[in-house]
Amino acid sequence: MTTSLPHQADPHALDPTDGPLTVEELRLASRNHALPLEALGSDVTPAGLHYVVVHFDIPTIDAGQWRLRLGGAVRRPLELTLDAIRTRPRSTIPVTLECAGNGRALLRPRPVSQPWLLGGVGTAEWTGTPLAPLLEEAGLDADAVELVFTGADHGIQGDEEHDYARSLPVGDTSGAGVLLAYEMNGQPLPPQHGYPLRLVVPGWYGMTSVKWLTSIEAVTRPFDGFQQRVAYRRQRDAEDPGEPVSRMRVRSLLIPPGIPDFFTRRRVLRPGSTLLRGRAWSGHGTVERVEVGIDGQWLDARLHPPAGPFAWHGWSLEWDARPGDHELACRATDTTGEAQPFAQAWNHQGMANNAVQRLVVTVRG
Ligand X SMILES: Nc1nc2c(c(=O)[nH]1)N[C@H]1C(S)=C(S)[C@@H](COP(=O)(O)O)O[C@H]1N2
Contact (Cβ atoms closer than 8 angstroms) between residue 280 and residue 287: yes
Number of H helices, E strands in the chain: 5, 22
Name the phi and psi angles at 191, rounded to 5: -50, -45
Contact (Cβ atoms closer than 8 angstroms) between residue 342 and residue 8: yes
Min. distance of Cβ 104 from ligand X in angstroms? 12
Contact with Mo ion (CB under 5 A) among 13, 35, 53, 147: 53
Q: Of ligand X, Mo ion, none, which one does residue 164 interact with (CB within 5 to 8 Å by kind)? A: ligand X
Query: Distance (Å, rounded) from C-alpha 304 to C-alpha 208?
Result: 27
Contact with Mo ion (CB under 5 A) among 119, 202, 206, 350: 206
> Closer CB to ligand X, residue 57 or residue 243?
57
Min. distance of Cβ 53 from Mo ion in angstroms? 4
Min. distance of Cβ 62 from ligand X in angstroms? 17
Q: Of Mo ion, ligand X, none, which one does residue 226 interact with (CB within 5 to 8 Å by kind)? A: none
> Closer CB to ligand X, residue 185 or residue 340?
185
- Interface residues with ligand X (CB under 6 A) are 50-55, 97, 99, 151, 153, 164, 193, 206-207, 209-212
Query: Distance (Å, rounded) from C-alpha 49 to C-alpha 67?
Result: 29
Name residues contacting Mo ion, limited to 88-147 (CB under 5 A).
99
Calculate the dihedral angle through the C-alpha atoms of 179, 185, 190, 194, rounding to the nearest 10 degrees.
-10
Min. distance of Cβ 194 from ligand X in angstroms? 6
Q: What is the DSSP string of 223-246?
A: ---HHHHTSSEE-SSTT---EE--
Min. distance of Cβ 99 from ligand X in angstroms? 4
305: β partners: none
Q: Of Mo ion, ligand X, none, which one does residue 277 interact with (CB within 5 to 8 Å by kind)? A: none
> Closer CB to ligand X, residue 82 or residue 99?
99
Min. distance of Cβ 181 from ligand X in angstroms? 10
> Closer CB to ligand X, residue 53 or residue 254?
53
Query: Distance (Å, rounded) from C-alpha 299 to C-alpha 291?
Result: 5
- # residues near Mo ion by CB under 5 A: 4
CA-based end-to-end distance of the chain: 28
> Closer CB to Mo ion, residue 203 or residue 206?
206
> Closer CB to ligand X, residue 184 or residue 276?
184
Min. distance of Cβ 38 from ligand X in angstroms? 18
- Cβ-in-10-Å burial (0-12, 13-18, 19+) of 60 comes to exposed
Applying CB under 5 A, the residues found at the interface with Mo ion are 53, 99, 206-207
